[in-house]
Amino acid sequence: MLAEKEAYVVAGLDEFVSAEKTTEQDVPRAAQPGLFESKLIARMKAGEMSAFDELVEEYQPLVYALSFRILGDAEDARDAAQETFLKIYRHFARFRGEASLKTWICRIAINQARSSERWWRRRFRNATSSLDAPLGLSREEDRTLAETLESDAVSPEAEALVRERSRRIELGLGEMKKDFRIAVILRDIEGLSYEEIAYVTEVSVGTVKSRIARGREMLREIVQSGERESVQL
């Protein structure tokens, strides 16, 4: 019976997990996340297969985006996302509500992507980093990556500057050590709190804050350096 259910799950994931379906509007329901999650968790605990279908449809964009930003390859990211949801299905009984469902899923997704990357590295494949997945906006009191990208530019020259700044940020993220990159992405793109990021990455809140601060500074230096070079040219 379990094998039949898992076959159904895998078949469904093949349909859901697709890079082309990932858009900025496909983030989990922000209006009533607590209510949505609590109902979904109850249905998952009750063994409703339709609930798992909804979970995949709801969190697939998030899982794929995280996987893609770590692995840098669309096909690898789809495979990692599929494995992530299969693990969620198999181990959902272990979910104890110590963190939100979204945070718990982020933790599984990042660990799976890291495992996938190590698997490829052992086989002498060079992993590259890219950030073609859409960037989101977070609203924080301190200056965030998203705020670096914000602009009220209306002239072609100003828009070109924003595009160049975005490109340099993407390159900068790709050059950063993975721990810093993950922290910045989770904070400034996915909007997780320091405590949630600590849970996902399994480090202290202090370490999270340090990684985010250092990561943001690295990005600012890259962006500002690029802008100075453009002016000199």
For residue 94, the domain's CATH number is: 1.10.1740.10
Same domain, 78 and 170: no
Would you tell me how many other CB atoms lie within 10 Å of the CB of residue 146?
Answer: 17
Would you state the pLDDT for residue 32?
63
Same domain, 151 and 71: no
How confident is the model over 68-100, as pLDDT tens digits? 888 888 898 999 999 999 999 999 998 988 899
> What CATH number does the domain containing 184 carry?
1.10.10.10
Same domain, 111 and 44: yes
Same domain, 163 and 118: no
User: Is the pLDDT assigned to residue 16 strictly greater than 80?
Assistant: no
Residue 105 lies in a domain: yes
Same domain, 15 and 54: yes
Q: Determine the Cα angle at 26 with ends 25 and 28, to 5°.
A: 115
Residue 133 lies in a domain: no
| DSSP code for 215 | H
**Quick one: tokens of 147?**
């705020």
Residue 163 lies in a domain: yes
Residue 195 lies in a domain: yes
Nearest Cα to Cα of residue 53 among 68, 66, 64, 43: 43
Would you state the pLDDT for residue 126?
39
Residue 136 lies in a domain: no
How far apart CA 110 and CA 14 sit, in angstroms, is 20
Instruction: Among 63, 90, 122, identify where a domain stops.
Output: 122
CB crowding 164-196: b at 16 or more within 10 Å, else e: ebbebbbbbbeebeeebbbbbbbbbbbbbebeb
The predicted model gives 4-10 an average pLDDT of 54
The predicted model gives 10-35 an average pLDDT of 52
Same domain, 183 and 76: no
Residue ranges of alpha helices (H) inside 92-193 are: 101-122, 145-149, 156-175, 178-184
How far apart CA 172 and CA 149 sit, in angstroms, is 13
Same domain, 28 and 71: yes
Structural domain harbouring 118: 2-122
Domain count, the chain: 2
Q: How far is CA 99 from the centre of its chain?
A: 17
Residue 137 lies in a domain: no
Residue 132 lies in a domain: no
Residue 140 lies in a domain: no
Same domain, 100 and 166: no
Would you state the pLDDT for residue 183?
92
Would you state the pLDDT for residue 92?
93
> What is the maximum span of the chain, computed from C-alpha positions, in angstroms?
68
Instruction: Among 91, 122, 153, identify where a domain stops.
Output: 122
SS3 labels along 24-43:
HHHCCCCCCHHHHHHHHHHH
Q: Does residue 116 sit in helix, strand or coil?
A: helix
| DSSP code for 142 | S
Same domain, 217 and 156: yes
Q: Which burial class, exposed, middle or buried, applies to 152 when counting CB atoms under 10 A from its CB (0-12, 13-18, 19+)?
A: exposed
Same domain, 179 and 100: no
Same domain, 212 and 150: yes
How far apart CA 199 and CA 30 sit, in angstroms, is 21
Positive or negative, the Cα torsion across 219, 221, 224, 230?
A: negative
What is the C-alpha radius of gyration for the chain, rounded to an integer number of angstroms?
19
Task: Please count the CA atoms within 13 angstroms of the CA of 69 that sit on its side-chain side.
Answer: 32
Instruction: Among 122, 155, 183, identify where a domain stops.
Output: 122
Same domain, 220 and 157: yes
25 compared with 158, residue with greater pLDDT: 158
Give kind and range of the element (H or E) at residue 229: helix 205-232
pTM above 0.85, yes or no: no
User: Is the pLDDT assigned to residue 118 strictly greater than 90?
Assistant: no
Q: Tell me the pLDDT band of 116, cut-offs 50, 70 and 90.
A: confident
The predicted model gives 160-179 an average pLDDT of 76
